[in-house]
Amino acid sequence: MKPSDTFDKVLDQLQRFCAYQERSLHEVEQKLRSTALPATEQAQLIALLREENFLNEERFAKAFVRGKFNIKRWGRKKIASELYKHKVNKTSIQEALDSEISEQGYQENIHHLITKKRKELPASLDTFSLRNKLLAYLIQKGYEPLAITDILKEILRDNEP
C-alpha cells in the first residue's frame, strides 16, 4: 500500500469519526496515535480537518456543555473539569459555559436535582443530615456551594411541617 493511500484512508476515517459527533482535538490526536503515520502527516491531517471544519474546538465545547448540562444535569465546575481533560483552552470553556448555560436554567437544574434526590433519601433523616447529603450530592454533580445553599434553604423551609 502506498503512503498516500494510507493518508487518504486515515483522512476518510477521521472525517467519519468527526462527522458522527463533535470531537475534541485531544480525541482526534488519540485516534491518530493508533495509526502508523509519521508525525508530519498526522499534523497535516489535523490541519485538513480544521480547514474542512470537521474539527472545531469552540463548537465541540458548546456541544459538550449543552449535552452535559441538559442531559446529565452537571454543574459548571464538573463540565469545566471534563473539558480541561479534553485539553480545551480556558477561553473556549468559559465562552461555552457563558453562552450555553443561563442562570435561570442553572437554578432550575439545582432545584430539580434537590427535589429528585430528596425523594430517594429516607424520610427519617433529620434536617441537618438531609441538608448535608443534598449539598454533598450537588457538589459532586459540579455545582458551586453558594449556588446551592439559597435554593436548598428555600426548599427545606417550604417542606418543614
Q: How far is CA 72 from CA 79, 101, 129, 139, in A?
A: 10, 13, 25, 14
For residue range 100-121, list pLDDT tens digits in order: 999 999 999 999 999 999 999 9
Return the pLDDT at 35. Answer: 84
Judgement on whether residues 75 and 112 belong to the same structural domain of the protein: no
Judgement on whether residues 154 and 124 belong to the same structural domain of the protein: yes
Average pLDDT over residues 123-130: 90
Q: C-alpha grid cell for residue 114? A: 434537590
Residue recorded with cell 508530519: 40
Number of domains in the chain: 3
For residue range 83-98, list pLDDT tens digits in order: 999 999 999 999 999 9
Judgement on whether residues 96 and 107 belong to the same structural domain of the protein: no
Judge whether 52 and 120 are in contact, CB under 8 Å.
no
Of 2-11, 36-45, 57-66, where does the model show the most confidence? 57-66
Return the pLDDT at 145. Answer: 94
Judge whether 80 and 97 are in contact, CB under 8 Å.
yes
- The residue range of the domain holding 78 is 57-100
Element housing 103 (H / E): helix 103-120
Average pLDDT over residues 35-58: 91
Average pLDDT over residues 48-59: 94
Q: C-alpha grid cell for residue 159? A: 417542606
